[in-house]
Structure 1
């Protein structure tokens, strides 16, 4: 088990397995030291690269505690014939709620308001003038499970929602207008990212695309850090080219706290907590453990396999 997993998941596994737990952020050497004896891995955090896969001898499943796959060397995993399962939908609501919360924080200047009253003992209300969600245009990049919920929640606030996805079929039946990436970036008041990180969309939000945003627009990333060029974002925010941003994810985690994004007053930062709710963590732990039991004990394929 890689990472800290809720006891509700542990109790399921303890009924039929001998557990090896690598808590926190597992080191590669520690994974290499034990991977040869493992029949399954419950993967919450940590890189599983080609070398680690080459050392396994009997892995029958990698059960993801979540849905992101960017920490796995999928070509090596696939070549080895190891199924990978995800806990699809288990954290969707948590991430969607966090996204709306970050948008409200940006539009209503909650971070600045807290600093003003707490650190400066100031009651400067007029300097904290914000904007309302209602009648704003929200652009959602990536219209999967989380993106769909985000659209639903923003729509409830009376916003105009537009969507964009690299797979045309995903948005074909969308109740919201599907537009090009360029149109979405140039017309949205709020842009929020909900796509998986792939080699094709690495640094999706680079300098050129950030320049398409309106000066008052805000960018929210609760997906994967590699989707955003953090250097370009910090420069754009500091220069007032965009209204601000909210980042819950970073290129490297934990990040370099000396990076300019952490000194921009109009960038809200959180430590990858969009899915860090009691409900989501329990659901992911239980779902991942149940997948392992299904494969190892019941001899069945995983219910939500993303590789074969």
Structure 2
């Protein structure tokens, strides 16, 4: 009986995914998400399934001499060195389309939590501060302006929900064609920040977007405006955001992602009552986790059986001859 291929799993995935892998591979679940653990367990692994926390940089990938595929649950790829993997013939795949609506729902939930002061009012009731009902810090969101930065699948889903609530949507995305899209676009990022009552961020983490939300933009927002980030913590200069909140430059923020995860207990963002926080769960629901796990597991099974998996993100880095063959397979 031949030895089953080994699959490294950085964090638990939904059982629908493990059911696909059961009996076909030897699953090894990491006890923690540290780089040291990944390096120790990846040595004889044939595949890896990663969530957002575990870093797969050159050092880790180099240890995985047998790796054929790194499957990333979700769409963000900033924790994987795709170039190094591609140069060594290792597929890096993600799972687009599995949680874009899920993230959009969370972004809208945060907009509503801020506008209706849901967290504040909940605490008021629990602390017998019934008089807070007269504070009138709550606002309607109908006819409020929202700027959507990044108009991929999640940005579009967020815009759709916001339109249903009667909000006025303006999008900013210099990397896509604007023709045929049913939304008003602005080519000026400053205008988005200056005019919007809410700014919701839906961009990948790249060198270009690293800390691009800085005091340059936060300081020109309306004093009654809110920032929402359900994308990546690296997009926001956290110190600049802390400064803007401390100086009442903006009304508040809602954040699902952070520069450092898990968030340090001393992070100054924790002290603001006008900041709504969640622990990087915008894309995680019972349903989305099933879809994500199934897609990642199927990609692993395909790669281990000599088939090209779906949603490869790093073909451009493969050695030229293999890249040509793969491109041919993609188009046929």
Q: Same fold (TM over 0.5)?
A: yes
In structure 1, what is the Cα distance between the partners aligned to 2:192 and 2:66? 47
Gapped runs of 5+ residues in structure 2?
Answer: 1-8, 316-332
Match 1:97 to one of 96, 105, 129? 105
In structure 2, what is the Cα distance between the partners aligned to 1:121 and 1:182? 40
Q: Secondary structure of the residue that 1:196 maps to in structure 2?
A: coil
Q: 1:57 to 1:152 in 2, by over 3 A?
A: same
In structure 2, what is the Cα distance between the partners aligned to 1:230 and 1:56? 35
Give TM-score scaled by structure 1 length: 0.96
Gapped runs of 5+ residues in structure 1?
Answer: none
In structure 1, what is the Cα distance between the partners aligned to 2:33 and 2:117? 37
Q: Does the 8 Å contact 1:93/1:149 carry over to 2?
A: yes
Q: Does the 8 Å contact 1:112/1:128 carry over to 2?
A: no
Structure 1 segments of 4 or more deviating over 3 A?
A: none
Partner residue, 2:39: 32
Instruction: State whether structure 2 residue 282 is matched by structure 1 residue 274.
Output: yes
Per-residue displacement from partner, 1:143-179 (whole Å, max 9, x unpaired)?
111001001000001111110113142x343211110
Q: Does the 8 Å contact 1:96/1:149 carry over to 2?
A: yes
Tell me the CA shift for residue 120 of structure 1: 4.2
In structure 2, what is the Cα distance between the partners aligned to 1:134 and 1:115? 25
Instruction: State whether structure 2 residue 20 is matched by structure 1 residue 12.
Output: yes
Partner residue, 2:159: 151
Q: Does the 8 Å contact 2:30/2:41 carry over to 1?
A: no
In structure 2, what is the Cα distance between the partners aligned to 1:7 and 1:202? 35
Q: Does the 8 Å contact 2:83/2:314 carry over to 1?
A: no
Instruction: State whether structure 2 residue 68 is matched by structure 1 residue 63.
Output: no
- Point out the structure with max Rg over C-alpha: 2
Per-residue displacement from partner, 1:104-151 (whole Å, max 9, x unpaired)?
010111111112121243332121431111101110001111001001
Question: Cα RMSD (Å) of the superposition?
Answer: 1.3
Give TM-score scaled by structure 2 length: 0.89
Match 2:242 to one of 234, 253, 260? 234
Per-residue displacement from partner, 1:238-259 (whole Å, max 9, x unpaired)?
2211011001100110011211
Q: Secondary structure of the residue that 2:59 maps to in structure 1?
A: helix
